[in-house]
Structure 1
Amino acid sequence: MELFIFLIIGALAGFAAGLFGVGGGTIIVPLLFIVFTQMDFPADNVMHLALGTSLATIIITSISSLMAHHKKGGVMWPVFKNLAPGLVLGCFFGAGIAGQISGLYLQLIVGVFLLWVAYKMFFGGKKQVGKDFNDANNNVMQLPSKPKQLAAGGVIGIASAIFGIGGGSLTVPYLTRYNVVMQKAVGTSAACGLPIAIAGALGFMFFGMQQEVNVPNTIGFVHVYAFLGISIMSFFTAKIGAKVAHMLSPQLLKKCFSVLLFVVGLYFLYKGVV
């Protein structure tokens, strides 16, 4: 039954990863939080296990998603190269920071963050989406300098580890802020999810092993069976989500993305307060 539940979570998370470029974490973290709570895992470890396992599964999800977006020409590889070093360093050490924060505070932090991003994305959708990555003369004009992109990657990496959501909730708004069209932002975000997931998963395993996690079938803050079940299913459904993303309008995609984040944010605030 547990494996079946993990497979269902993987199917939903994979589709969300391909559709929104969020690595599926916005689906995985709250659902794993519910499942791990029902499995009577220690309350102090539930949120950390949900975050660490989420990042581990995003390794597989992001590979499938970025391959699909790459075929559609949706990944801006020069931007990815600028962001990646900061993403890796930030996410690894962000896992260490998350390990020092109580589960209750993590729930509240994640909830507030998602509501803020949802608000910015929903109302930002009324504005013109902007030009593509390259203008008519094939010149890159929208994004900041390489050092600033590197710094942004570090911030996104730290936040991604704390939120366990693959970075899409920050990477997508960051890129669309500079007038990158939504499909390009989603595709590049999907690619950025890979270094985030690898560094974050290793960080949660490493820092989790420094603490006593009294839960079977875990490596640090990563649940092995949940990782396997979610990864297997999400690999296939991420491709479906990516195809759907390129069929929708940028405005509609933004609206759907913001509604998803809003619902998940409210859930975490509710669980943190009640």
Structure 2
Amino acid sequence: MHDPSFLLLFALGLILTGCVSGFLAGLLGVGGGIVVVPVLYIVLAAFDVESDLIPFIAVGTSLATIIPTSIQSFRAHHARGSVDTALLKWWGPFVAVGVVLGVTIAAWANGEFLTLVFAAVALLVAGYMLFSPEGAHVAPRLPGRPIQALLATIIGTISSLMGIGGGTLTVPVLSLASYPVRRAVGTASVVGLIIAVPGALGFVVNGWGKSDLPPFSLGHVNLAGFVLIAASSMFFAPLGARTAHALEPKWLRRLFGVFLAVTSIKMMT
């Protein structure tokens, strides 16, 4: 049993996590999960949660917090006309299929697998953002619809396993096809919502009835973490979106890459 001062610090840490993740959700279209997941690893370990449960609770809770943050981020980007609704109509169903696949894989995986997926993919994307030449692309436009459907499915699968909102993968995939970065970030905010809703529900189901879950848990979603992080993050997403429109695209790429690299190295150590 922890004393009140420790619980207060724990709550303040979650609130601060929400502020940072909300800002990054609006700035980079990452849904905040890339921040929430590693921080929850730390705070859950501090509360002596069983080590193999930590990755599942971190991912499930992160997906839940992405829901309100993505809504706020979408509204801010949509007001600036940086959301590609036509693309989303095609990608959306396939992203959702990918989420179902990812949640199914998570039901059979262990905690080390989820950690490895998170760290490896984050480092791969960081390398692309930091070291690929400015404006680098592999195609002058988006590929045909069958390839887009495959890409959207992969994005949904991996993102649901990582507990992220989709921007981590959506932004670089679109950028490789010569897609404007600001429009990619705005569109990614909606992809995050498509991932977060079924993903969070899936982790609730996967963890339902398990023993040794921390207090206030609904399956693998911790409600205390969800409320505190979501409540603070939703106020900072619009600020991030406004900042994104004030920065040059190259700085968005560099910020995105540095943040992912640091996060990945932290997860591996």
TM-score, normalization: structure 2? 0.92
Secondary structure at the counterpart of residue 127 of structure 1: coil
Secondary structure at the counterpart of residue 264 of structure 1: helix
Q: Deviations over 1:78-120 (max 9, x none)?
A: 1111111111121123122123222223222211211111001
Amino acid at match of 2:263: V
Aligned: 1:113 with 2:102: no
Equivalenced residues, count? 261
In the TM superposition, what is the alpha-carbon distance from 1:253 to its structure 2 partner?
0.6
Name structure 2 gaps, 5 residues minimum. 1-7
Aligned: 1:51 with 2:50: no
TM-score, normalization: structure 1? 0.91
Secondary structure at the counterpart of residue 202 of structure 1: helix
Assess, with a 3 A threshold, how the Cα gap between structure 1 residues 168 and 13 changes in structure 2: closer, same or farther: same
In the TM superposition, what is the alpha-carbon distance from 1:128 to its structure 2 partner?
5.3
My pick for the range that moved more, 44-53 or 210-219, is: 210-219
Asked if the contact 1:56–1:222 (Cα under 8 Å) also holds between the matched residues in 2, the reply is yes
Aligned: 1:89 with 2:97: yes
My pick for the range that moved more, 95-104 or 206-215, is: 206-215
Give 1:177's aligned residue: 176
Q: Could you tell me how far apart the structure 2 residues matched to 1:19 and 1:241 are? A: 4
Assess, with a 3 A threshold, how the Cα gap between structure 1 residues 84 and 210 changes in structure 2: closer, same or farther: farther
Give 2:223's aligned residue: 224
Give 1:247's aligned residue: 246
Asked if the contact 1:182–1:250 (Cα under 8 Å) also holds between the matched residues in 2, the reply is yes
Q: Could you tell me how far apart the structure 2 residues matched to 1:45 and 1:70 are? A: 37
Asked if the contact 1:48–1:99 (Cα under 8 Å) also holds between the matched residues in 2, the reply is no
CA RMSD of aligned residues (A): 1.7
Aligned: 1:200 with 2:199: yes
Aligned: 1:124 with 2:132: yes
Q: Could you tell me how far apart the structure 1 residues matched to 2:106 and 2:23 are? A: 27
Amino acid at match of 2:45: T
Amino acid at match of 1:16: L
The percentage of aligned residue pairs carrying the same residue is 38
Flag as ranges the 4+ runs of structure 1 deviating above 6 A.
none
Q: Could you tell me how far apart the structure 1 residues matched to 2:267 and 2:79 are? A: 35
Q: Deviations over 1:112-166 (max 9, x none)?
A: 21111100111224235899xxxxxxxxx72123332222211111101111111
Asked if the contact 2:138–2:176 (Cα under 8 Å) also holds between the matched residues in 1, the reply is no
Give 2:24's aligned residue: 16
Asked if the contact 1:18–1:239 (Cα under 8 Å) also holds between the matched residues in 2, the reply is yes
Asked if the contact 2:216–2:222 (Cα under 8 Å) also holds between the matched residues in 1, the reply is yes
Q: Could you tell me how far apart the structure 2 residues matched to 1:264 and 1:237 are? A: 20
Give 2:11's aligned residue: 3
In the TM superposition, what is the alpha-carbon distance from 1:178 to its structure 2 partner?
0.6
In the TM superposition, what is the alpha-carbon distance from 1:7 to its structure 2 partner?
1.2
Q: Could you tell me how far apart the structure 2 residues matched to 1:129 and 1:247 are? A: 24
Give 2:142's aligned residue: 143
In the TM superposition, what is the alpha-carbon distance from 1:32 to its structure 2 partner?
0.8
Give 1:155's aligned residue: 154
In the TM superposition, what is the alpha-carbon distance from 1:222 to its structure 2 partner?
0.2
Q: Could you tell me how far apart the structure 2 residues matched to 1:265 and 1:152 are? A: 22
Q: Could you tell me how far apart the structure 1 residues matched to 2:133 and 2:255 are? A: 10
In the TM superposition, what is the alpha-carbon distance from 1:209 to its structure 2 partner?
1.3
Assess, with a 3 A threshold, how the Cα gap between structure 1 residues 254 and 130 changes in structure 2: closer, same or farther: farther
Give 1:134's aligned residue: none
